[in-house]
């Protein structure tokens, strides 16, 4: 063969490289370039508010050897795998001498790296299943979920309901860029992608594959604990196939996978109990109402379909959308693909050594997991306490299921795509993704309040307390003030408290316990509307504001006074355009 012939053959054999390159570049480059152009401040636009819980615990773990938010008492209010990774990352950044602002950039970049790696893993899995990577894979950075959400997202913005008054204009959630958020999300997606690849590429469902699946499904659960439901769904699907095909080998596979996951999670809860005094994570148990369904969630959901309610704001839409869209796509995929699985199981033609059949099992398991997660969230987790990081597997599944339905419908015609056409379509998909990033995925003012406080407001507070005893805070936000100030802080939200403090939070005595422990200032950057509160504000008015953010607290016998306020003209402040929302409120016994 001539050199030209070899080149043509190589190009024909690699026509699916264009969508992969477009997908990886579309995931990584927009965020990386954004950070390079805009600097460290831009990291706040990607970090979720709850990321500062992780960051504060990681800092205390790395610097003091305590898995703690307040620096003293242990907490387990986090998903363990990412918390351990971030603590190690913090230690490395500390060793090389990076500032905290640079650490935030590194955390975002690590998230982008994990997401880009996940894209490559998915691409390898799809190539093994279909023989090539579908050209529409180039649109994965945006994803089918975000594309389906887009009309409502744009509409709510034009209707004037696009801004979050506390955190600023929100980016389009569900894109891969929105998951570079300092939370466990990128790690979940990366481990899930590895699980998919390992399963579809395994030669047989022998001992090695069984151990690999048990280990990987355990890692998915440790990365995000409610995704233990993926292991449950996988075992249900494979066990159903084992029953239909009367395969003892498959039944043994399910048993060993289940035992592996149960053993891992059992060890996790025992370790939890040993060091924190609580079996399950504090954050999950405080948010969950299990086994009592939440009527307001159900009424709000049914109201969307009977006309009594609507998607009236983006802040509600991003919480409701994943479960609704994910469930709808899961139903669609199951209706399209399960009859074939059942038919082949009954007539004995189902071959789990075929990559396509393995992939059907993966998607069927994920579809069932999507239902389980959606059902749990709707029934038992208050809607206002759900965040966009709850649904990484759900939103990725929407893209994978959509690609699967398209690819199987289009076969075999779509299997022969000229290299030039593949490059052209991939470039168009990448360009569309860039347009979405620049218009809706590019979070220009998101978390400006947090960035202002970190870079300037915290400096003012530290200057105010220079030469005074170091304050100890009850922080009612998600950790931005504790992280920025570096003062010892208890969690006023309750989500990263120790076991004793959780009992006080539930009984309405957290403020009194905090005072007894010496945490005698209430701090809030965002959630407490302290506008117009100053050191001269009457104590009763200050107390009323505190009650508004801690409505279940018993504040009797306590006196509240403003010690520090960011109101312009009240105390020295360098925060640009300060609206006076940041305060430090001194708590003391009324007597």
Give mean pLDDT, residues 185-200.
98
* Between 121 and 307, residue with greater pLDDT: 121
Ramachandran sector of residue 583 (left: φ over 0; alpha: ψ -120 to 50; beta: rest) = beta
What is the pLDDT confidence band of residue 426, given thresholds at 50, 70 and 90? very high
- What tens digit of pLDDT does each residue of 468-495 get? 999 999 999 999 999 999 999 999 999 9
**546 and 561 in contact (C-beta within 8 Å)?**
no
**Helix residue ranges per DSSP H, 295-444:** 295-306, 314-347, 355-380, 392-410, 419-436
- Of all residues in the chain, the percent with pLDDT exceeding 70 is 91
Write down the mean pLDDT value for the chain.
Answer: 89
Give mean pLDDT, residues 551-563.
94
What is the pLDDT confidence band of residue 419, given thresholds at 50, 70 and 90? low
Residue 304 has pLDDT above 90, yes or no: no
Q: Is 442 helix (H, G, I), strand (E, B) or coil?
A: coil
What is the pLDDT confidence band of residue 580, given thresholds at 50, 70 and 90? low
Residue 352 has pLDDT above 90, yes or no: no
What is the pLDDT confidence band of residue 567, given thresholds at 50, 70 and 90? low
Q: Report the C-alpha gap between 385 and 362 in whole angstroms.
A: 30
What is the pLDDT confidence band of residue 44, given thresholds at 50, 70 and 90? very high
CA-based nearest residue to 20, from 196, 186, 139: 139
Integer angstrom CA distances of residue 549 from 162, 414, 519: 23, 56, 17
- What tens digit of pLDDT does each residue of 318-332 get? 899 999 999 999 999
Q: Report the C-alpha gap between 554 and 547 in whole angstroms.
A: 9
Question: What was the pLDDT predicted at 216?
Answer: 98
Strands (E), 455-535: 473-475, 489-491, 521-524
Residue 509: burial class (beta carbons within 10 Å; 0-12, 13-18, 19+): middle
Of 152-161, 275-284, 370-379, give the lowest mean pLDDT range.
Answer: 152-161
Taken in order 544, 549, 551, 553, the sign of the CA dihedral is negative
- What tens digit of pLDDT does each residue of 251-260 get? 999 999 999 9
Question: What was the pLDDT predicted at 11?
Answer: 40
Question: What was the pLDDT predicted at 240?
Answer: 94
> How many C-beta neighbours within 10 Å does residue 251 have?
16
Residue 310 has pLDDT above 90, yes or no: no
Residue 197 has pLDDT above 90, yes or no: yes
Question: What was the pLDDT predicted at 414?
Answer: 46
Q: Is 293 helix (H, G, I), strand (E, B) or coil?
A: coil
pTM listed for this prediction: 0.94
Ramachandran sector of residue 519 (left: φ over 0; alpha: ψ -120 to 50; beta: rest) = beta
CA-based nearest residue to 287, from 381, 373, 375: 381
Question: What was the pLDDT predicted at 590?
Answer: 86
With tokens 């180039």, the residue in question is 138
Contacts of 286 (CB under 8 A, 6+ apart): 494, 495, 502, 505, 506
What is the pLDDT confidence band of residue 308, given thresholds at 50, 70 and 90? low
* Between 475 and 307, residue with greater pLDDT: 475
Residue 575 has pLDDT above 60, yes or no: no
- What tens digit of pLDDT does each residue of 97-121 get? 999 999 999 999 999 999 999 999 9
Q: Is 587 helix (H, G, I), strand (E, B) or coil?
A: strand
Residue 307 has pLDDT above 90, yes or no: no
Question: What was the pLDDT predicted at 578?
Answer: 53
Q: Is 522 helix (H, G, I), strand (E, B) or coil?
A: strand
**88 and 120 in contact (C-beta within 8 Å)?**
no
Two structure tokens written together for 504: 């006080």
Q: Report the C-alpha gap between 461 and 571 in whole angstroms.
A: 10
Residue 9 has pLDDT above 50, yes or no: no
Give mean pLDDT, residues 383-404.
95
CA-based nearest residue to 546, from 496, 506, 498, 510: 510
**482 and 69 in contact (C-beta within 8 Å)?**
yes
Residue 454 has pLDDT above 80, yes or no: yes
Give mean pLDDT, residues 413-422.
62
Question: What was the pLDDT predicted at 13?
Answer: 45
Residue 570 has pLDDT above 80, yes or no: no
What is the pLDDT confidence band of residue 515, given thresholds at 50, 70 and 90? very high
Residue 545 has pLDDT above 80, yes or no: yes
22: enclosing H helix or E strand? helix 17-38
CA-based nearest residue to 125, from 176, 195, 180, 78: 195
**249 and 342 in contact (C-beta within 8 Å)?**
no
Taken in order 493, 191, 317, 450, the sign of the CA dihedral is positive
Contacts of 15 (CB under 8 A, 6+ apart): 132, 417, 418, 419, 422
């Amino acid at each position: 063969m001539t050199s030209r012939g070899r080149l043509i053959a190589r190009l024909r054999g690699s026509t699916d490289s264009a969508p992969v390159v477009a997908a990886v570049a579309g995931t990584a480059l927009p965020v990386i370039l954004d950070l390079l152009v805009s600097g460290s401040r831009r990291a706040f636009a990607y970090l979720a508010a709850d990321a500062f819980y992780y960051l504060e615990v990681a800092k205390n773990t790395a610097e003091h050897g305590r898995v703690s938010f307040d620096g003293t008492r242990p907490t387990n209010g986090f998903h363990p795998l990412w918390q351990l990774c971030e603590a190690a990352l913090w230690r490395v950044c500390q060793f090389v001498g990076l500032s905290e602002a640079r650490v935030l950039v590194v955390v975002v970049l690590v998230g982008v790296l994990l997401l880009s790696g996940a894209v490559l893993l998915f691409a390898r899995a799809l190539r093994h299943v279909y023989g090539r990577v579908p050209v529409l894979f180039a649109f994965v950075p945006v994803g089918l979920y975000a594309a389906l959400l887009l009309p409502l997202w744009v509409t709510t913005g034009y209707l004037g309901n696009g801004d979050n008054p506390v955190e600023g204009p929100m980016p389009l959630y569900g894109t891969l860029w929105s998951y570079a958020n300092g939370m466990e999300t990128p790690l979940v997606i990366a481990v899930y992608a590895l699980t998919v690849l390992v399963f579809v590429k395994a030669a047989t469902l022998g001992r090695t594959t069984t151990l690999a699946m048990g280990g990987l499904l355990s890692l998915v659960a440790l990365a995000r604990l409610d995704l233990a439901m993926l292991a449950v769904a996988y075992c249900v699907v494979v066990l159903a196939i084992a029953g239909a095909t009367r395969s003892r080998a498959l039944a043994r596979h399910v048993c060993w996978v289940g035992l592996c996951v149960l053993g891992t999670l059992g060890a996790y809860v025992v370790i939890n109990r040993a060091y924190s005094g609580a079996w399950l994570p504090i954050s999950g148990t405080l948010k969950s109402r299990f086994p009592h369904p939440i009527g307001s969630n159900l009424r709000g959901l049914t109201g969307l379909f009977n006309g009594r309610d609507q998607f009236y704001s983006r802040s509600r839409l991003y919480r409701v959308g994943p479960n609704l869209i994910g469930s709808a796509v899961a139903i669609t995929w199951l209706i399209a693909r399960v009859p074939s699985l059942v038919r082949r199981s009954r007539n004995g033609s189902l071959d789990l050594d075929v990559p396509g059949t393995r992939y059907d099992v993966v998607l069927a398991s994920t579809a069932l997991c999507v239902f389980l997660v959606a059902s749990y969230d709707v029934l038992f987790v208050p809607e206002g306490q759900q965040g966009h990081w709850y649904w990484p597997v759900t939103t990725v599944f929407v893209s994978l299921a959509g690609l699967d339905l398209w690819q199987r419908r289009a076969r075999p015609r779509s299997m022969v795509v000229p290299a030039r056409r593949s490059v052209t379509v991939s470039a168009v998909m990448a360009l569309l993704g860039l347009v979405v990033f620049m218009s809706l995925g590019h979070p220009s003012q998101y978390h400006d309040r947090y960035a202002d406080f970190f870079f300037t407001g915290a400096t003012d507070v530290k200057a105010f307390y220079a030469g005074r005893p170091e304050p100890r805070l009850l922080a009612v936000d998600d950790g931005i003030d504790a992280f920025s100030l570096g003062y010892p802080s208890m969690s006023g939200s309750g989500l990263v408290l120790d076991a004793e403090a959780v009992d006080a939070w539930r009984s309405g005595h957290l403020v009194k316990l905090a005072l007894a422990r010496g945490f005698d200032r209430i701090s809030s950057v965002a959630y407490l509307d302290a506008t117009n509160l100053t050191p001269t504000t009457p104590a009763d008015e200050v107390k009323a504001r505190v009650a508004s953010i801690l409505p279940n607290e018993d504040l009797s016998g306590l006196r509240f006074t403003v010690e520090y306020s960011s109101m312009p003209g009240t105390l020295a402040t360098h925060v640009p355009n300060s609206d006076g929302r940041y305060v430090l409120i001194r708590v003391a016994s009324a007597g």
